[in-house]
């Protein structure tokens, strides 16, 4: 295997909900020139583009990917480019092509150039037969296309580690809540959209039922977890390397609406479930993250109150 091309960091899908904040955190940690943001979109005013090096790059263009890795002297890839669950169910072929095809592009480049890789998974790997408090290890039988691509991603990560020694790590993110970038077409988007709607219109039509409970997390915790996992010594990373469970907060859509109403006078919320209810119902309520706790000392900081306060003060600027 060739030696690592270099020491710089490449982030794919950098203009999305997570990339927007991860790029900034990595640039603070390593220096702005050390982190190359990339995406298939071009948004010239985006903070990732104005704040440091940026490359237009599709993760299904293997030759283009290889070229960027060589030219930019990349040693580590944070691979965030993907199609999320709600868009994925509408465009299943695209979802498979980007999520599985893109991951193979990254892992093949990693094998060739000896790159370290972060490739996130999701709570969507669990299916309706999994325990509602989801353990790290159980049968993974997702019913969404998106969930199936994430199970494949975890399997690929383990294969490349076992067969080629590629140091790939991942987290099964819960639904992530942040104010700096819109959510990207997922089922958990209601937990972001509700804050925007509350402050803009005083009302939100929520697309899942009030009693729908899902695992969620504030973005600051997710970014901290991502960097902690990648900074952990290699011998602390165990059999969950392809997708560590991490737990943040578990709340129902009704509890979230009540917490928003307690902070936004006269806020009202109606619950009008659509097709995304089915995807939400197939996922767990909460997550057992004892393996992340013991392997790399994971612990979330934000509870529902802290999350709501941070969202509202962030959106009010």
Check: CB of residue 182 under 8 Å from CB of residue 20: no
Residues 171-210, one symbol each (x = binds ligand SER by CB under 6 A, - = not), give ----x----------xxx----------------------
13 binds ligand NAD (CB under 6 A): yes
Window 57 to 116, contacts with ligand SER (CB under 6 A): 84-85
Catalytic pick from 54, 78, 146, 218? Answer: 146
250 binds ligand SER (CB under 6 A): no
Residue 275: CB atoms within 10 A of its CB come to 11
Both tokens assigned to 257: 């609406």
How far, in Å, CA of 59 to CA of 70, rounded?
15
* 226 in contact with ligand SER (CB under 6 A): no
Annotated active-site residue 164? The verdict is no
Identified binder of ligand NAD from the candidate list 12, 226, 250, 282, rule CB under 6 A? 12
- Taking the complex as a whole, the smallest distance from the CB of residue 280 to ligand SER amounts, in Å, to 8
- Identity of the residue, 128 or 202, whose beta carbon is nearer to ligand NAD in the bound complex: 128
Beta-strand runs (E) in 13-98: 35-39, 54-56, 74-79
> Count of alpha carbons within 13 Å of 85, Cβ hemisphere only?
28
C-beta neighbour count of 264 within 10 angstroms? 17
Question: Least distance in Å: CB of 122 to ligand SER?
Answer: 3
The set of long-range contacts for 135-142, using a CB threshold of 8 Å and a minimum separation of 24, is 135/245, 135/288, 136/240, 136/244, 136/245, 136/288, 136/289, 136/290, 136/291, 137/240, 142/282
* Residues at the site binding ligand NAD, with contacts judged by CB under 6 A: 12-13, 15-19, 39-41, 58-60, 80-82, 84, 98, 102, 120, 122, 173, 175-176, 184-186, 188
Q: Catalogue the active-site residues.
A: 146
């Amino acid at each position: 295997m060739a030696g690592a091309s270099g020491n710089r960091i490449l982030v794919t899908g950098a203009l999305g909900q997570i990339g927007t904040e991860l790029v900034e955190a990595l640039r603070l940690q390593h220096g702005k020139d050390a982190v190359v943001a990339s995406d298939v979109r071009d948004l010239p005013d985006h903070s990732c583009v104005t704040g440091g090096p940026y490359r237009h790059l599709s993760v299904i263009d293997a030759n283009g990917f290889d070229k960027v890795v060589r030219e930019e002297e990349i040693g580590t890839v944070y691979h965030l480019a993907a199609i999320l669950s709600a868009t994925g169910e509408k465009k299943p072929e695209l979802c498979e092509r980007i999520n599985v095809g893109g991951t193979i592009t990254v892992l093949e480049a990693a094998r060739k150039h000896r790159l370290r890789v972060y490739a996130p998974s999701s709570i969507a790997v669990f299916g309706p037969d999994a325990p509602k408090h989801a353990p790290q290890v159980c049968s993974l039988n997702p019913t969404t296309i998106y969930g199936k691509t994430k199970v494949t991603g975890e399997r690929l990560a383990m294969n490349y580690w076992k067969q080629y020694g590629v140091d790939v790590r991942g987290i099964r993110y819960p639904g992530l809540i942040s104010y700096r970038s819109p959510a990207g077409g997922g089922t958990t988007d209601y937990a972001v959209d509700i804050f925007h709607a509350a402050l803009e219109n005083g009302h939100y039509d929520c697309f899942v039922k009030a009693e729908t409970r899902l695992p969620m997390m504030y973005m600051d915790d997710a970014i901290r977890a991502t960097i902690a996992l990648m900074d952990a010594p290699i011998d602390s990373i165990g059999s969950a390397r392809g997708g560590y469970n991490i737990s943040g907060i578990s709340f129902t859509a009704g509890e979230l609406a009540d917490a928003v109403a307690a902070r936004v006078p006269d806020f009202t919320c109606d619950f009008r479930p659509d097709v995304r209810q089915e995807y939400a119902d197939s996922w767990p309520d909460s997550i057992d993250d004892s393996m992340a706790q013991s392997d790399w000392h994971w612990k979330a900081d934000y509870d529902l109150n802290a999350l709501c306060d941070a969202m509202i003060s962030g959106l009010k600027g």
